[in-house]
Structure 1
Amino acid sequence: SIKRFGAEVASGTSASIDFTPTLGGVHTLTVTATDDVGSDVATTDFTVLGDIGGSGFVNNILWLAEAGITKGCNPPTNDEFCPDDPVTRGQMAAFLVRFLGLTDDGGGNSFIDDDASMFEADIAKLAAAGITKGCNPPTNDRFCPDDPVTRGQMAAFLVRALVLTDDGGGNSFIDDDGSMFEADIAKLAAAGVTKGCNPPTNDRFCPDDSVTRGQMAAFLNRASDIATS
């Protein structure tokens, strides 16, 4: 079976769902499937993110929610996504762990500053997979879970997560020459995961800018084709 917007539809059948919510919240959707034997009624709950209608990343965010990679930004209700908020390093860990399906935490306790973080388990899994090296080189005994993720850092996370090696010749953008993440940014651009930060020209990457939650949804949506290929 497959799942779309939280509704389970048996393989080999067709269905369409039209729903335009005006507010976020938990809505009950009833799906009726009829076959040669008769009809069955199934109900399921799904959460509508009520704050994404004006976002340029609405389709990416919907994909992120359908894939189970985001649970919302305002627990326990979680009926909002906060698309314009910056992504913290802890949130980034959770996004990537769900995106990649990581389970091994390597014994946990990789860093000294995440014991009180709700993302401690995700951070341990990210470290065990070699996707993060910490935030305070060369010691790297801290993760800085509450710090915002910069676009350069995000490039490094995704390059390691996707095991990207092709830089397409490098020098994709005019503003990353002095960045420690220049090689990662080139690989991300060559893979088509980033398009730049200044459309329509897109000759800049803005490596020191914070990544918003909406932008992160777009990055992961584009990266999904690589992760599943």
Structure 2
Amino acid sequence: MSKYRGFLGFSIVFLLALTFFLPISHTKAASLGESMVSYGKKFMGVPYVFGGTTPKGFDCSGFTQYVYKHHGVSIPRTTGEQYSVGTSVAKSELKPGDLVFFKNTYKQGISHVGIYAGNNQVLNATTSKGIDLVSLSNSYWGPKYAGAKRLVDGKFNDVSKSNQAYEAIEDLTDKNIIQGFDDYSFKPDDPITRGQAAALINRELKLQPKNISYFKDVPSTNRFAKDIAAMREAEIISGYPDQTYRPNNYITRTEMAVILQRAFELQLGSAAAAENKYKDISSSYWAHDAIVAMKAIDETGVFKTSNYYGSDRATRAVFSAALYNAMNF
């Protein structure tokens, strides 16, 4: 690994504000839809109650709304209203968590809804067995299939496929490098701290430090102490002149670029640098090469912009995209 000297971003360190620490919570390895199915199965056998919306008794749309709400996703109350939301999905493309609709059951038209559970089965509130798994090949339910809608995809309720960082976030969570929160969210717009940045990078690099007690404000009990020490020894993220690291300070997009350039040795030729300029980054800027590297290696589209906005905080989504790009460079 290349060696770099000096303090990271010493010329802009005082732009960072000392703020509260944002923990990275435990991961949600399964897709959000799979989590919904797993949660919904806990209510197998709960009786059917017309108008029911609680585990004491569910009707079909009351059950789907209850399961979705538990995962932080709001959907309308009635079957007809639920049929009006989401994106239509072909039967051959069904995924766990999709809403599956049936027609002409107790009334004409769209009249019943359940949650696709995989393997051609639907988890739903039946009048005969309560919450139950039924097959789409069932002689009763099969002919009444009316279509399906998708409201969730991926692992988190706040990161859709339209988010440019979606693939990066999915990949990094699969690898347990970055994680989601217990409310099934990812919080893509939350900023990244210096401590978190050290941990996320080192979950990929797996560097082992010799001394974890260097910084005055990073005790050995700090959850990121080993990662922070590893970043210092590798000269990827340095500390401050007063021998502090300030793990709770947020990092800027400029600092993120420099950190990742150091960690993954992102070096561009002059031609590549010239092709990936930003309007707001001068060629004489101290972090120019690191910043244009973010654009040159970008596979997500997050950095394919005219301006870089280097003084803005690096968010969880932006950092995920940058780290994903660097790992795959």
TM-score category (smaller protein): 0.5 to 0.7
Aligned counterparts, 1:67-78, within 5 A: 67-72=175-180, 74=181, 77=182
Shift of 1:130: 2.1
Deviation at 1:125, TM superposition (A): 1.6
Change (3 A) 1:125 1:81: same
Contact 2:268 2:293 in 1 (8 A): yes
Describe the shift of the 1:210–1:193 C-alpha distance in structure 2 as closer, same or farther (beyond 3 A). Answer: farther
- Cα deviation for residue 189 of structure 1 reads 3.1
Q: Any stretches of 5+ residues in structure 2 without a counterpart? A: 1-28, 32-92, 100-116, 120-153
Corresponding letter in the other structure for 1:220: L
CA distance, structure 2, for counterparts of residue 105 and residue 118 of structure 1: 14
Report if aligned partners of 1:167, 1:188 keep a CA contact under 8 Å in 2. Answer: no
Alignment TM-score, normalising by the size of structure 2:
0.48
Question: Residue 221 of structure 1 corresponds to which residue in structure 2?
Answer: 324
Q: Considering only CA atoms, is the larger Rg found in Structure 1 or Structure 2?
A: 2
Q: Kindly state the Cα deviation for residue 52 of structure 1 after the two structures are TM-superposed.
A: 2.3
User: For residue 187 of structure 2, what is the amino acid of its counterpart?
Assistant: C
Match of 1:110 in 2: 214
Distance verdict in 2 for CA 1:20–1:218, change over 3 Å: farther
Percent of counterpart pairs with the same letter?
26
Q: Which residue of 2 aligns with 1:206?
A: 309
- What is residue 152 of structure 1 aligned with on the other side? 254
Q: In structure 1, how many angstroms separate the alpha carbons of the residues matched to 2:207 and 2:266?
A: 21
Which residue identity does 1:60 align to in structure 2? A
Could you report, residue by residue, the CA deviation over 1:118-138 in whole angstroms, capped at 9, with x for unpaired residues?
32221112222221122x3xx
Local SS of the residue matching 1:219: helix
1:51 to 155, 158, 166: 158
Distance in 2 separating the partners of 1:17 and 1:168 = 48
**How many residue pairs align between the two structures?**
183
1:205 is paired with a residue whose SS is: coil
Structure 1: give runs of 5+ residues left out of the alignment. 8-15, 23-28, 32-46
Query: Which residue is equivalent to 2:291?
Result: 185
The AA in structure 2 aligned to 1:168 is S
1:20 corresponds to which residue?
A: 97
Is this contact kept in 2: 1:192–1:222, CA < 8 A? yes
Quick one: which amino acid aligns to residue 189 of structure 1?
K
2: distance between equivalents of 1:194 and 1:132? 25
Q: Which runs of 4+ in 1 moved over 6 A?
A: none
Contact 2:217/2:246 (8 A) holds in 1: yes
Native 8 Å contact 2:268 2:289 kept in 1: no
Contact 2:278 2:307 in 1 (8 A): yes
Change (3 A) 1:112 1:52: same
CA distance in 2, matches of 1:55, 1:213: 16
1:157, CA displacement in angstroms? 0.7
Matched to 1:132, the amino acid is I
1:175 — aligned with what? 280
8 Å CA contact retained: 2:279, 2:307: yes
2:312 partner SS: coil
Match among 66, 69, 89 for residue 194 of structure 2: 89
Question: For the residues of structure 1 that align with 2:269 and 2:248, how far apart are their CA atoms?
Answer: 30
CA distance in 1, matches of 2:269, 2:302: 15
Note closer, same or farther for the CA distance 1:145–1:217 as it changes in structure 2 (3 Å cut).
Answer: same
CA contact (8 A) 1:174 1:203 kept: yes
Structure 2 Cα separation of the partners of residues 155 and 182 of structure 1: 9
Shift of 1:17: 9.6
Q: Is the 8 A contact 1:168 1:187 kept in 2?
A: no
Quote how far apart the aligned CAs of 1:211 are: 0.9
Query: Is the alpha carbon distance of 1:71 and 1:188 closer, same or farther for their aligned partners in structure 2, counting shifts above 3 Å?
Result: closer
Shift of 1:144: 1.7
Q: Which moved more, 1:153-162 or 1:112-121?
A: 112-121
Alpha-carbon distance in 1 for matches of 2:172, 2:97: 18
User: CA 1:58–1:191 in structure 2 vs 1: closer, same or farther (change >3 Å)?
Assistant: closer
The CA deviation at 1:54 is 7.5
The two structures have a TM-score, normalised by structure 1, of 0.66
Q: CA deviation at 1:195?
A: 5.8
**CA displacement at 1:71 relative to structure 2:** 2.5
